[in-house]
Chain A
Amino acid sequence: MSSVLPGGTARWHLTVAAALRDYGIYFALALLIAYFSIRIPEFRTAENALLILLQVSVIGVIAIGMTFTIITAGIDLSVGSLLAVAGVMSGVFAQKDPTLLNMLLAFSLPILIGLVGGAINGLVIAWAGVNALIVTLGTLTAYRGFVVWYRVNPIYDLQPYYSVIGQGAIGPMPVPVLILIFLAVVAAIVLNFTRFGRYVYAVGGNREAARAAGINVELVTFAVYVISGFCVGMAALIFTSRLGAAQAISGQGFELQAIAAAVVGGASLFGGRGRISNTIVGALIMGVLFNGFVMLDVPAPIQQMAIGVIIIAAVWLDGILRKRRR
């Protein structure tokens, strides 16, 4: 082929295309917010904004970990089930007397379980070399089976202290939102400024080239599933604490919402591409849609249909804008 340079007939045209490509979802989010703000007076309040953030926090935290796995051309379908395992184990101790040990376990166990669950995924994917989709589809089923077997009945009446994570606030900011922001910032720094972050992109962009560059591809692959597990642990803590109850059926379908957030944010399921900030915006788009639809009294089935169409449209548009450049 001859070299095909990005040549448009007009320069501004290119600039617009480039801006749309790089910031398209930001425009989309802004448009959505503008639309709902005009249509619905109650939408444009600070309380509602915080509510949306709060609603997005669990999926947002999971989507951060999901972004890591997707950048390596992997995926983690087990997040919803792992969230249930971590949540129930946390709930078991959150229900007991608030001794120091019980409190410590209630807060740390979900994280630990998340890490272990992620490590199991990572071990099999990285070193046994089984396809990530298959492995995490398997653990999606297995983790769910485990938690239902362990505790089929919901755990209510959690100790009051436990609600601090999910229902607490520092100033006007709910704790889950602060956790989300904190994790997103840390994750963005890791991906953009550390060696590990580079390796994550390299492994996803071209596994063989990464190996030939001297990167320990297996270790990087393992690590992203551990990170995903950690995020699930945090999300489980927020979720259980917010709900004030732990259930074995929690988290069903969360994997799809988290994947949708990352993909709407422009992450490529083929790997090598994805940004934390975009994933968060992707999650926000869905959160805003959901919130706005509810306020407009759009029936739930219609909401689902609309969101489904929007996911497909977002990825389609993203593909078109990307092709333009070539």
Chain B
Amino acid sequence: MLAFTDKEICTRAMTTSTTVAENVGRREVSARSVVSIRGVSKSFGATLAVDRVDLDLHSSEVHALVGENGAGKSTLMRVLAGFHSDYSGTIAVDGEQTQILHPRQARALGIALVHQELSLLPEMTVAENILLGREPYGTIPGVISRRAMQERSRALFRELGIQLDAAARVDRLSIAERQLVEIAKGVSANPRVLIFDEPTSSLTYHETRELFRVISGLTAKGTAIVYISHKLDEIFAVAHRVTVLRDGARVASAPVDEWTQARLVNAMVGRDLSALFPRTPSAPGEVRLEVRNLTRRGAFRSVSFHVRAREVVGLYGLIGSGRTSLADALYGMAPADAGEILVDGEPVAVHSAARALAHGIAMAPEDRRARGLVPMLSVKVNMSLSALAALTQAGFIARSRELNAVERLIGRLSVRAASHSQEVTMLSGGNQQKVVLARALMVGPKVLILDEPTRGIDVVAKAEVHAIINDLAQQGLAVLMISSELLEILGMSDRVLVMRDGAIVGEIARAEASEERLVAMAAGVAAAAESRA
């Protein structure tokens, strides 16, 4: 059978070196090639983004496409979905050669892409978004029937087994719910090939599991799935076949059970990646940050914890558990209503980011694009933005001092940019993240808050950011790291705080932390389990 049980998916998702279903072989026999791509290349100017790639997509099969950022995964899939008409090579759909020149044509061939970036209209309802451009008419000709739209959407949700209000406006939804709408939109076209491009980057563990169930339902109906992700554990949980791209070219393709995590990383980066999580805990020092009974109505309540010098404390919780609100309160972006924040034992009032910085609390915020970077400005300007007060004399910026500070951090964090004057959006995601880190570090903070420090960046950059975090902690910084990635939390934290419904529900030491415990605690099933024990 193709459909997994819920429990199966759960365990598959949790174990990273999964022994994948033994029925892979059987599946392949019954599967037929829906799309076969031969020698497809696509270049942007002088840059060859996709280099003579062969790829076969079979019905009822989840084909994972992995590789570093810039490896050409998204570009290849955008070619298939009709977004780049100027490719070379051939694409055959159902054995028939076609030139896919336009997204509409791809849709007509049954190829749909679930977008990486959220592309919904926030002012419209869920149903309106899902059926955008295909609105059903009611009894009066030419007039859209709201009822029909909502009914269709609800039927779709039932089919997919997801909980969404079809009549809700999209801007009222959480990011994760919006991603589900995006997925439903892709599925609603009844595609034969459905491409997921990093679908889980904003989903929590449970939502990811939900998505896997949706995917297994789709494969059961015969849909061919392409699954692009950076998260290796997901690949092993969901994929039947894995193809690795590097520098635009296909380097390997094999059924999932022929892969191990190490081999996959190896193939992606072309060399051994010895330590993705290079945390070497050292004896923690004085308490740097202490939080007592911090409360903000509607976000979190009575939160108390501390972070010592040389310590990396992980903060884990589902989306909506209050993690980011807590970080925002500590950094003054959205001050708390009650409670105390102490830095080095001194109570501090943090009403703005400027105050937080003055007290030695710095933050690298969650969403690089929305809150981290000023897109039109250079690497240098972005890096020094928080530290300008110290680099200014009589209102004028001390340019050489600024440049020194910037160059030092570019070196220390090995930011790969053409120069410090390069526009920051021209950098890769990993290097952009380093710029955000540099901005926080340039003020010389005592406490560093990292909100999702490696979201959406490739494995190599991830390892680099982790090494930086480790170095910073070694040098005496107190680091509070929020992350949705279990492996990152487990790999990097000396202690883990678990948040649920606005409260800290547990603290687990590094030695005792496991994926199961964290997940159970974050979801609220731990209490029951432990009280029984």
Which positions in A face B, CB cutoff 8 Å?
Answer: 1-9, 193-196, 198-199, 201-202, 205-206, 208-216, 268, 272-273
Q: Is B119 an interface residue (CB 8 A)?
A: no
Whether B385 lies near A198 (C-beta < 8 A) is yes
Whether B385 lies near A202 (C-beta < 8 A) is yes
Whether A4 lies near B377 (C-beta < 8 A) is no
Q: Is B370 an interface residue (CB 8 A)?
A: yes
A-B residue pairs in contact (CB < 8 Å), sample of 20: A3-B69, A4-B44, A4-B49, A5-B44, A7-B43, A193-B396, A194-B397, A195-B389, A195-B395, A198-B388, A201-B374, A202-B377, A202-B381, A209-B385, A212-B333, A213-B386, A214-B354, A216-B354, A272-B375, A272-B376
Give, as a whole number of angstroms, the nearest-CB distance from B356 to chain A.
7
Give, as a whole number of angstroms, the nearest-CB distance from A13 to chain B.
10
Whether B385 lies near A210 (C-beta < 8 A) is yes
- The residues of B that contact A209 with a CB separation of less than 8 Å are 370-374, 385
Instruction: Add 17 more A-B contacts to A7-B46, A213-B385, A272-B374 (CB < 8 A).
Output: A1-B116, A2-B49, A2-B69, A2-B74, A2-B248, A3-B47, A3-B428, A195-B389, A196-B395, A201-B376, A205-B377, A206-B374, A212-B371, A214-B353, A214-B386, A214-B443, A215-B354
Q: Is B365 an interface residue (CB 8 A)?
A: yes
Whether A198 lies near B381 (C-beta < 8 A) is yes
Q: Is B255 an interface residue (CB 8 A)?
A: no
Once A4-B47, A214-B357, A216-B354 are accepted as A-B contacts, the answer to whether A208 and B375 lie under 8 Å apart by CB is no
Whether B47 lies near A5 (C-beta < 8 A) is yes
- The residues of A that contact B190 with a CB separation of less than 8 Å are none
CA distance A3 to B45 in the complex (A): 12
- The residues of B that contact A212 with a CB separation of less than 8 Å are 331, 333, 353, 363, 365, 371-372
- The residues of B that contact A273 with a CB separation of less than 8 Å are 376
Give, as a whole number of angstroms, the nearest-CB distance from B136 to chain A.
34
Q: Mark B332-366, 1 if CB is under 8 A from A, else 0.
A: 01000000000000000000111011000001010
Once A2-B70, A214-B354, A214-B356 are accepted as A-B contacts, the answer to whether A7 and B45 lie under 8 Å apart by CB is yes
- Lowest 4 CB-CB distances: which A-B pairs, in order? A7-B45, A7-B46, A205-B374, A214-B354
* Segment 394-428 of B: residues with Cβ below 8 Å from A: 395-397, 399, 428
Q: Is B82 an interface residue (CB 8 A)?
A: no
Whether A3 lies near B377 (C-beta < 8 A) is no
Whether A272 lies near B377 (C-beta < 8 A) is yes
Whether A194 lies near B377 (C-beta < 8 A) is no
CA distance A196 to B428 in the complex (A): 29
Once A201-B374, A212-B365, A272-B377 are accepted as A-B contacts, the answer to whether A5 and B45 lie under 8 Å apart by CB is yes
- The residues of B that contact A199 with a CB separation of less than 8 Å are 388
Q: Is B392 an interface residue (CB 8 A)?
A: yes
Q: Is B62 an interface residue (CB 8 A)?
A: no
Q: Is B302 an interface residue (CB 8 A)?
A: no
How many chain B residues touch A (CB < 8 A): the figure is 46
Which positions in B face A, CB cutoff 8 Å?
Answer: 43-47, 49-50, 69-75, 116, 248, 331, 333, 352-354, 356-357, 363, 365, 370-377, 381, 385-386, 388-389, 392, 395-397, 399, 428, 439, 443
- The residues of A that contact B374 with a CB separation of less than 8 Å are 201-202, 205-206, 209-210, 272
- The residues of A that contact B47 with a CB separation of less than 8 Å are 3-5, 7
Whether A195 lies near B70 (C-beta < 8 A) is no
- The residues of A that contact B50 with a CB separation of less than 8 Å are 2
CA distance A268 to B370 in the complex (A): 19
Of all chain B residues, the one with the shortest Cβ separation from A268 is B376
Whether B45 lies near A9 (C-beta < 8 A) is yes
- The residues of A that contact B356 with a CB separation of less than 8 Å are 214
Give, as a whole number of angstroms, the nearest-CB distance from B336 to chain A.
17
CA distance A272 to B331 in the complex (A): 25
Once A214-B356, A214-B357 are accepted as A-B contacts, the answer to whether A205 and B45 lie under 8 Å apart by CB is no
- The residues of B that contact A214 with a CB separation of less than 8 Å are 352-354, 356-357, 385-386, 443
Give, as a whole number of angstroms, the nearest-CB distance from B65 to chain A.
12
Give, as a whole number of angstroms, the nearest-CB distance from B249 to chain A.
12
CA distance A115 to B373 in the complex (A): 32
Contact partner of A215 among B370, B375, B377, B385, CB < 8 A? B385
Whether A213 lies near B375 (C-beta < 8 A) is no
- The residues of A that contact B376 with a CB separation of less than 8 Å are 201, 205, 268, 272-273
Contact partner of A208 among B357, B371, B397, CB < 8 A? B371
- The residues of B that contact A9 with a CB separation of less than 8 Å are 45-46
CA distance A216 to B355 in the complex (A): 10
Which of the listed residues A196, A198, A201, A210 has the most CB atoms from chain B within 10 Å of its own CB?
A198
- The residues of A that contact B396 with a CB separation of less than 8 Å are 193-195
Of all chain A residues, the one with the shortest Cβ separation from B247 is A2
Give, as a whole number of angstroms, the nearest-CB distance from A278 to chain B.
15
Once A1-B75, A3-B47 are accepted as A-B contacts, the answer to whether A195 and B392 lie under 8 Å apart by CB is yes
CA distance A212 to B428 in the complex (A): 21
Contact partner of B370 among A8, A193, A208, CB < 8 A? A208
CA distance A102 to B72 in the complex (A): 73
CA distance A174 to B356 in the complex (A): 51
Of all chain A residues, the one with the shortest Cβ separation from B356 is A214
Whether A195 lies near B388 (C-beta < 8 A) is yes
Give, as a whole number of angstroms, the nearest-CB distance from B444 to chain A.
13
Give, as a whole number of angstroms, the nearest-CB distance from A50 to chain B.
33
- The residues of B that contact A205 with a CB separation of less than 8 Å are 374-377
- The residues of B that contact A202 with a CB separation of less than 8 Å are 374, 377, 381, 385
- The residues of A that contact B373 with a CB separation of less than 8 Å are 206, 209
Of all chain B residues, the one with the shortest Cβ separation from A203 is B374
- The residues of A that contact B49 with a CB separation of less than 8 Å are 2, 4
CA distance A14 to B331 in the complex (A): 43
CA distance A198 to B382 in the complex (A): 10
CA distance A208 to B365 in the complex (A): 10
Whether B381 lies near A201 (C-beta < 8 A) is yes
CA distance A111 to B443 in the complex (A): 38
Of all chain B residues, the one with the shortest Cβ separation from A273 is B376
Of all chain B residues, the one with the shortest Cβ separation from A3 is B70
